Amino acid sequence: MQLVPQLTNLFATMILMLSFAMISQRRIVSLINLFTLQGAALVAASVLVGYATHQTDLYVSAGLTFVLKVVLIPWLLYRVIERLNVRWDVETLINIPTTMLVGIGLVIFSFSLALPISRLSTAMASGSLGIALACVLLSFMMMITRSKAVPQVIGFLSMENGLIFAATAVTNGMPMIVEFGIALDVLVGVLILGVFMFQIREQFDSLDIHNLETLKED
């Protein structure tokens, strides 16, 4: 039992490092692989917290995360990039070194902001709040610095990973009905974004969302 908090912090660090790897990654296939690994680390952290706190709800949450984030959604994303033939390098609005420097600043800001809040929490892994917040901000930065639709979808899903980890580590989980609702919303959102990406490709022969700026009302 004494090793559980250390192992949880280890998986939290893995989630953060994977977020850094995602913002520096240029290939879409590699982005999907990193997102899958991040989902697996989130599953492991949820199982550990559930084991330590004896909350069976967290096992169900880990199962939902595994099915959606490790199996189903990566498979759907692979199918999308195969259909659209978008395995090329990801175009970024700012260069990778600058992105990494901004990312480091966001991590420092996240830990500074989360420190007084985590001190008020009695959860086992409350110190991981800063990591969870950093993952959310890094994912948001990835969404706004990428011009392709697929990396933005992955950034959105990674942001949701950070929010789930925050709920797991700081509050020892959310009510089950909330977790089911979030899982359904994420799945529906991915399906809608998949249709959206197909429509962009059909209209513009590209997944660059900047093409949408050329649309004007008649």
For 37-92, what is each residue's pLDDT tens digit?
999 998 888 888 888 778 777 888 888 888 888 888 888 888 877 777 766 655 66
Number of domains within the chain: 1
Cα distance between residue 135 and residue 20, in whole Å: 8
Cα distance between residue 172 and residue 168, in whole Å: 5
Residue 175, CB-side half-sphere exposure with 13 Å CA sphere: 3
Distance of CA 161 to the CA centre of its chain: 4
pLDDT category of residue 180 using cuts at 50, 70 and 90: low
Q: Give the domain extent around 85.
A: 3-214
Distance of CA 199 to the CA centre of its chain: 24
pLDDT for 197 beyond 90:
no
pLDDT category of residue 212 using cuts at 50, 70 and 90: very low
Q: Could you tell me the pTM of the whole model? A: 0.78
Cα distance between residue 81 and residue 75, in whole Å: 10
Q: What is the mean pLDDT of the chain?
A: 76
pLDDT for 110 beyond 50:
yes
Which residue from 214, 143, 167, 174 is spatially nearest to 45, judged by alpha carbons? 167
Q: What is the DSSP string of 41-75?
A: HHHHHHHHHHHHHT-HHHHHHHHHHIIIIIIIHHH
User: Looking at residue 33, what is its pLDDT?
Assistant: 92
